[in-house]
Structure 1
Amino acid sequence: MTATRGPAVQRRLAGVDAARGLALLGMMATHIVPLSQPAAGGALADASLASVEPTWAALLFAGKASALFAILAGVGLALLTGGPHPHAAARLSATRRGVAVRALVIAGIGFASGMLDTHVAVILTHYGLLFVLAIPFLGLPARRLAWWAGGWLLVSPALWWAAHPVVAALVRPADVGGSPQFADLARPATLAADLLVTGYYPVLVWTGFILLGLTLGRLDLARPRVVLGLLLGGGALALAARSASDALVALPQAAAALRGATGTDGEGLRLALSTGQGLGGSEGTAWWFALSAPHSGAPLDLLHVSGTAAAVLGACLLLAAALRAVLGDAGEPVLWPLAGAGAATLTLYTAHLVALDLLSGPTAQLPRHELYLWFCAGAVLAGIGLKWAGTRGPLESLVHAAAASVASGAAAARDRR
């Protein structure tokens, strides 16, 4: 990752990579650990959902980890294009070409990963499209980006709510059944509907996350006041959005409408609001706008996860700064378990999908929490190894080489004119 002010950006990156590492481990948790479990004294065989409760993976990471992943992609693009000082037009033009190539390669990896038997909704193809949509915004300063991000996060849920039933009726099937793969290129209408509106990560809504990340990356993240503002402001926003949602959903008319739309009883709705599972049909009532449930895409959900992401980024940057202040140059290696994995998220995210496919049989009887710890250990050790070797992950090297080749070619052509 390049930037205009090397030392300052390098100091920031330790905290940004640590946040990426948390996002990676969080997504792995939601892919491996069940999102619900028997309550104390209950059993899954019990037909009553009163005996089931959300797991720690659902409460900590469901909906939040993947949003953090997308928001940090925007932060990375902002740092790539100058951080607080966006690149001038000539240099920015070459960088934009490089970002377009990054998007193409990442989407290709996403299509390939979608062919694996993992039961995971792979985000990478949507991620690539988000990169493409971010290209026109790469030259904007923080203030203008903030208006775009705020407006998108507030308006896009209403657009999605209006468009979803229309798109689902016009395009049959309206989604690709979980994760896009190369075969879906043969049915472009379904693929476009899934990527933009009807899929697990509707880009119509998720563009707000990458715009928010661009906004955050345009701030001077080396300033303690800015970073503390992210932590406190993000935490306050997350708490306010969740509290508002809880108050609205607790209204008798809201609960009744949501139960009717989703076909759940009271306990089933409670579980769905914590895990994000079982809320299908909730968009059929206007009370959907009151939700902050994971992956609901409602306005309060977007504000909640956005605030959470800002707070996590602020906390990681403050931790990196504190370690540097106390330990000097020895402080950065303390973050390697998270920052190392965070610097190779594309490689490790893809590797964990391959492992879930290849090891599904041998690990079938292994407790899911234990399996998750093994996956975490593998990701952390791989990240530390890459940090120690001073090298990128294999897929990061591939993406960087492809993007740098196009960007340098564009710069050379500009210089010849």
Structure 2
Amino acid sequence: MTKRHVSKRVEGLDFARALAMFGMLVVNFGVITGADGNGPTWLIWVQSLFQGRASAIFVILAGIGIALMTAKARTTESQILIKKNNRNLRKRSLFLFVLGMILYAVGWSGDILHYYGVYMLIASFFFVSSNKTIILLTSVVLVTAQTFQIIFNYMAGWDPEQFLLEYLDFWTVEGFLRNLFFNGYHPVLPWICFFFIGLILGRLDLTNDTVRKKLLIAGFSITVLTKIMSEILMNVTTKSVLDADSAWFLFETGPIPPNVFYIVSNTATALIVIVGSIYVTERFAENGLIRAMIHTGQLTLTHYVSHVFIGIGILIVLNRLEHQTIAFSLLFSCLFFVGSMLFSVLWRRKYNRGPIEIIMRKVTK
């Protein structure tokens, strides 16, 4: 692979972040309002399209962003730049970790930022490593995570009456570490794999049409093959070796648990979304809606925090936190996203970064 340093911003990545943000709103507001499964079959299917995928795209994009940010240090092998990037990454990781813990403390148990901070901390040790090293590390993490899911009790810590809603011992050392690394919403094992994959993708020339076509073909092919293999293995093993629950646990492509099939399948769909986003922004770069989406993607940290404080705050005022329909949660997600887009457009007229992004930059200098 040719070494390079990319200085020009790839706006398609911002567009993909906006799409991922919308997906997270759909998933999170669905959980918050108690709407999961409460609606017609086709709406349940629509909501399921975003389950686990939006967050995975976010983390892969984060890895790409880190690869682009550290490209000069990596290609020049300058120890001064490497140390500077290390320091910046670790400061940002601490900022995100603390911010995420604040969100968790005020009641947002679905937080991803504190996990995100740990991913970034780990990545700070490997951003100059070779692709082979990162691929090997990703494989080891993936196999280790799958092994742990088989050996240990994946339900440990979760309230059996409210699985994925309440983690009983989160604020203990054992419970916190178990949640962080093993069975939380976005556990380091194996979610760090998405970040590592992003580090590799960020080293590719995403402006090169040949590279993008290969990624797109790979994305579609792996998505289809993984789904076919998942179905075959579940059908075959339930007839001879495993019960239905065990087969689902091992071979389903959904996010709970995040097994090998989930990581591979969602990496593939992320490739489709990311490459597709780059194509869209290049072709319709001056379209007003596309520009608004790009600006929204540039402020995703701000929007993530606002969806907790403002979004949930509005739901509390409306008394809509329980027993809502999927139709309501989807409508609310769409309206909140439109509001976020409007704010982004207005804010970007004066500032290059969002409010929380500005704070993070100042704190982590």
Query: What TM-score, normalized to structure 2?
Result: 0.85
Partner of 1:290: 251
Alignment of 1:161-310 (within 5 A): 161-162=149-150, 164-165=152-153, 168=156, 187-251=172-236, 253=238, 257-259=242-244, 261=245, 285=246, 288-310=249-271
- Say whether the 8 Å CA contact 2:64–2:200 is kept in structure 1: yes
2:265 partner amino acid? H
Tell me the equivalent position of 2:23: 26
| Alignment correspondent of 1:372 | 333
Give the match's secondary structure for 1:137.
coil
- Does structure 1 retain, via aligned residues, the 8 Å contact 2:20–2:57? yes
SS at match of 1:293: coil
Q: Is the 8 A contact 1:109 1:124 kept in 2?
A: yes
Name the counterpart of 1:400: 361
Conserved? CA contact 2:158–2:166, under 8 Å? no
| Cα distance change on mapping 1:238 and 1:166 into 2, 3 Å | closer
Aligned equivalents of 2:234, 2:99: Cα separation in 1? 39
Q: Deviations along 1:145-184, whole A, 9 cap, x unmatched?
A: 34433x146413323324533994xx8999x97589xx96
2:125 is matched with which residue?
136
Deviation of the 1:382 alpha carbon: 1.9
Q: Deviations over 1:330-371 (max 9, x none)?
A: 36x552222211111111011001123322233335822321
SS at match of 1:377: helix
**2:343 maps to amino acid:** A
For the Cα contact (< 8 Å) 1:167–1:193, is it kept in 2?
A: no
Alignment correspondent of 1:115: 105
Per-residue displacement from partner, 1:181-219 (whole Å, max 9, x unpaired)? xx966x222211110112121111111110001010111
CA distance in 1, matches of 2:256, 2:164: 16
| CA offsets 1:217-247 (integer angstroms, 9 cap, x no match) | 1111121111222222112111211121122
Distance 1:177 1:295 in 2: 9
- The alpha-carbon deviation at position 381 of structure 1 amounts to 1.2
Give the CA deviation at 1:28.
Answer: 0.3
Q: Aligned partner of 2:309: which letter? A: V
Q: Is the 8 A contact 1:110 1:122 kept in 2?
A: yes
2:60 equivalent among 56, 65, 71? 71
Counterpart check, 1:336 vs 2:291: yes
Residues 159 and 166, structure 2, Cα contact 8 Å, conserved in 1:
no
In structure 1, what is the Cα distance between the partners aligned to 2:281 and 2:260?
32
Matched position secondary structure for 1:292: coil
Provide the secondary structure at the position in 2 that maps to 1:300: helix
* Residue identity opposite 1:114 in structure 2: Y
Determine whether 1:159 maps to 2:155: no
- Aligned equivalents of 1:69, 1:258: Cα separation in 2: 34
**How far apart are the structure 2 equivalents of 1:390 and 1:356?**
23
Rate the CA distance shift 1:197–1:109 in 2: closer, same or farther, 3 A: same
User: Please, which runs of 5 or more residues in structure 2 have no aligned partner?
Assistant: none
The equivalent position to 1:56 in structure 2, one of 46, 59, 70, is: 46
Greater RCO between the two (CA within 8 Å, min separation 6)? 2
* Alignment partner, residue 413 of structure 1: none
1:317 matches 2:241: no
The one-letter amino acid paired with 1:15 is G
| Deviation for aligned residue 1:4 | 4.5
Q: State how far apart, in whole Å, the 1-side matches of 2:310 and 2:187 are.
A: 26
Cα separation, 2, equivalents of 1:172 and 1:240: 33
1:361 maps onto 2:305 in alignment? no
- In the alignment, structure 1 residue 35 sits paired with structure 2 residue 36: yes
Contact 1:230–1:313 (Cα < 8 Å) also in 2: no
Rg larger in structure: 1
Counterparts of 1:377 and 1:350, CA distance in 2: 16
The 10-residue stretch of structure 1 (73-82 or 379-388) with the greater mean CA deviation from structure 2: 379-388
Amino acid of the structure 2 residue aligned with 1:136: F
User: What is the aligned partner in structure 2 of residue 347 from structure 1?
Assistant: 302
Separation (CA, whole Å) in 2 of partners of 1:378 and 1:299: 37
Partner SS state of residue 204, structure 2:
coil
Quote the residue 1:278 is aligned against. none
Identity %: 22
Check conservation: 1:196, 1:203, Cα contact below 8 A. Answer: yes
Equivalent residue in structure 2 for 1:92, among 71, 77, 82: 82
Shift of 1:293: 1.9
Deviation at 1:257, TM superposition (A): 4.4
Distance change (3 Å), C-alpha of 1:253 and 1:173: closer
- Structure 2: how far apart are the matches of 1:323 and 1:86? 35
Instruction: Report the Cα offset of residue 22 of structure 1.
Output: 0.8
- Contact map agreement 2:311 2:336 (CA 8 A) in 1: no
Alpha-carbon distance between aligned partners in 2 of 1:161 and 1:249, rounded to the nearest angstrom: 17
